[in-house]
Chains A and B, each alone.
Chain A
Amino acid sequence: MVSCSSQKDSPRSLTMSGHVGFESLPDQLVNRSIQQGFCFNILCVGETGIGKSTLIDTLFNTNFEGHESSHFYPHVRLKAQTYELQESNVRLKLTIVNTVGFGDQINKEESYQPIVDYIDAQFEAYLQEELKIKRSLFNYHDSRVHVCLYFISPTGHSLKTLDLLTMKSLDSKVNIIPVIAKADAISKTELQKFKIKLMSELVSNGVQIYHFPTDDETIAKINASMNGHLPFAVVGSMDEVKVGNKMVKARQYPWGIVQVENENHCDFVKLREMLICTNMEDLRDQTHTRHYELYRRHKLEEMGFMDVGPENQPLSLQETYEAKRHEFYGERQRKEEEMKQLFVQRVKEKEAILKEAERELQAKFEHLKRVHQEEKLRLEEKRRLLEEEIMAFSKKKATSEIYQNQTFMTPGSNLRKDKDRKNEVCLDEAQLLKKHISSPRLQSEVLSTDA
């Protein structure tokens, strides 16, 4: 017999008498992560020309490939590009997803659906990989969107309806960080009011944006203060301008120079700090443990799986699957039966039709036959008549011959007439005899009759 006993109560703490050495565990973890590399996916949502690509370039200090996109796309598309960045010994696989054509259409009803579809598709791909039998999750290229930077136009008034709608549909799927783009178009006081207005609008509409986590003491304070600065007003630029005696990234106007990395001018540094230096790991964590799990749960429930059965007994995936399978097969049986019935019925109908046609054909045939018979009888009748006439004629002919012979023997006044007649008859006879001339046997006869 096998017995296994283990302490079920909470584990007690032990004090060690010396140095064991597992304080290197975080370093071991870090080493493994360095070896594997990191993955980070940013989705930029905003109207065309609002400065998404420029901001990303500025954030990562690299000129990613970028050309201005056209304003005339009929639909919103998402374009994803992956880059490999390296800083000291950390390798980052960065994927930037841009919405192309967002907000350009005249009818913007379909604008946010492609974005939602894209995010769902990434979750779906991960779920599929996770559900595979033979899977390789540890070197799977994670394409799930970790953060969505939502670019708000610097109108100074309030959120546009499109923005509100889009953010509302995205907030349960991805971490949203709203940013005010092209912030150099707003003055400081207007900016403050704008920010307050935006935040209150978001709150009143129930949009869940990403708040920086404040549960860990080391970063709680800075995160809390940053939370108060949301949404960040950013300016992006890769052009360098000489200020003082250094070259800084800035935008040069006739009335002054807006420096990107100057905290008085814009919140760019705050954004970079929060997005990359402090909370990248938390963003990835939230995506995996909250948004992805939500998607997974919905998807599996949609497929009909449940954890708890009707009597609150835990159901295994397999039982549910079996039940569904039976249901499915039952359904299939029923459908098969139905189709069979239909088939039989159709066959019967067809048979009936064909029989009908056959009968008609038969009737026609009979009719034609009858007609033919009648015709035949008539023709027979005619033939008989004709034959009778021929016989009568030949009799007449014979009698006329006899009569002719007789008239030749007796002279008469009608000789001339008879002669003519005889000539005629002789002519006929001559023609007839001509046919017989060849036969010598008849010649004597001819001579005798002629004489």
Chain B
Amino acid sequence: MDPLRQSPSPSSSRASSPRTFSCERLGYVGIEAVLDQLKIKAMKMGFEFNIMVVGQSGLGKSTMVNTLFKSKIWKSTMPGLRVPMPQTLQLHSVTHVIEENGVKLKLTVTDTPGFGDQINNDKCWDPILGYINEQYERYLQEEILITRQRHIPDTRVHCCVYFVPPTGHCLRPLDLEFLQRLCRAVNVVPVIARADSLTIEEREAFRHRIQDDLKTHSIEVYPQKSFDEDINDKILNSKIRERIPFAVVGADREHMVNGRCVLGRKTKWGIIEVENMAHCEFPLLRDLLIRSHLQDLKDITHNVHYENYRIIRLKESHALPRGPGWVNLAPTPSPTPTGTRASPGPGKVCRWAEDDSDEDF
């Protein structure tokens, strides 16, 4: 419960600053009808969600996306077909509108084929960071227009799912580098891909080792501990944090198991059911991303990551004198920022812009 906040006293001296009273309500007023109003408004406007999948080729990214949204977002790329391996990192976005029970969702999925596939993978995260920042930049430009649109189209990446190859050992240097950089700019959810190659015990050991690695390198993946607002959030999120990274298996083919039709992978030694909690943790991932934390992902992107980006952008122009009322913008930086961009962590406090007092007469 956020503390009672005083209104900022208006500049006109005539209105006094408000006092806060706590009143007990008796009888019916109808304030809670505002929730229905909210719902109606939201349903009319529709929702937007942008997700990015990052990982080496062959880890099942496209299949996973198809499984998550139960539709053919992409044709799953299979090796063997004469699709040449992309020589460079490309980002490929695709947008769909899906509807369920009157709720319209505009889903944008960005894939990164070619990530980590080269011999020299140095700075392979730059294009991805560049893309993420470009979306922030686009939103910022829209936001500072004089005549703004009623609803600014939101193309910012709300969630980045990072696929960790199931080596069973620990996070590789490439993984660490990437996670370190990206966690400061976007919500990252790491998953263990192709988890059907690990036994349950191996999975647990791998998971613990990954968690230790993340802690050692102070990489904060989603759900970030520093954004837990109250005790309920903490409890809920701690449970999730214990299971991160989820061990998932993706499949988009249906098979018959015990008379039921399930999504799964058929192998000679059995059928791995995707939605079976005993087989893999895909339901957890799906619940986290879609059923329970989707709005939270968007909120953190908007309130934290976007604000951090905005602060950096607005501070970048040192030539202009600064003041509390001015919006200062440097010319748009080149789309590929160097890897040493000093982005402040979400929990750190950014210094205020100092007022250049070169205006004394």
Interface residues of chain A, those whose CB is within 8 Å of chain B, are: 1-7, 11-26, 28-38, 59-62, 64-65, 75-93, 95, 97, 114, 117-118, 121-122, 124-125, 128-129, 131-135, 137-139, 141, 143, 216, 218-219, 272-273, 276-282, 285, 289, 293, 296-297, 300-301, 305-307, 316-318, 321-322, 325
Contacts and interface: CB of A to CB of B under 8 A. Distances in A.
Q: Contact residue range for chain B?
A: 35 or more
Contacts of B331: 318
Contact of A78 (B5, B15, B311): B15
Nearest to B68: A20
Interface in B219-233: 229
B100 A78 contact: no
Interface stretch (B177-185, B210-218, B238-246, B293-301): B293-301
Interface string B2-18: 10111110111011111
Contact of B15 (A5, A14, A80): A80
Given A14-B98, A25-B42, A321-B320, A141 B7 contact: yes
In order of increasing CB-CB distance, the 3 nearest A-B pairs are A121-B10, A6-B93, A281-B37
B40 A22 contact: no
B106 interface: yes
A59 B31 CA distance: 11
Contacts, number: 310
19 contacts: A3-B91, A5-B92, A6-B95, A6-B110, A14-B97, A17-B71, A22-B98, A26-B38, A26-B43, A28-B295, A60-B25, A82-B21, A89-B32, A92-B31, A118-B10, A139-B2, A143-B7, A282-B41, A300-B146
A140 to B, nearest CB: 8
A10 B110 CA distance: 16
Given A59-B29, A82-B21, A282 B8 contact: no
Interface of B: 1-2, 4-8, 10-12, 14-35, 37-44, 47, 49, 68-73, 88-103, 105-106, 108, 110, 126-127, 130-131, 144-148, 150, 229, 263, 286-287, 290-296, 299, 302-303, 307, 310-311, 314-315, 317, 320-322, 324-331, 335-336, 350, 352-353
Contact of A318 (B18, B22, B102, B317): B317
A322 B99 CA distance: 47
A257 B352 CA distance: 62
Contacts of B229: 35
A22 B38 contact: no
Contacts of B95: 6-7, 11
B326 A131 contact: yes
Contacts of B147: 293, 297, 307
B191 to A, nearest CB: 18
A425 B38 CA distance: 144
A22 B90 contact: no
A281 B100 contact: no
Contacts of A38: 31, 34
A30 B39 contact: yes
Given A25-B103, A65-B21, A280-B31, 13 more contacts: A6-B95, A21-B287, A25-B105, A28-B294, A29-B38, A80-B15, A83-B20, A84-B20, A93-B5, A117-B12, A121-B11, A134-B307, A134-B311
A22 B103 contact: yes
B97 A306 contact: no
A318 B131 contact: no
Contacts of B311: 133-134
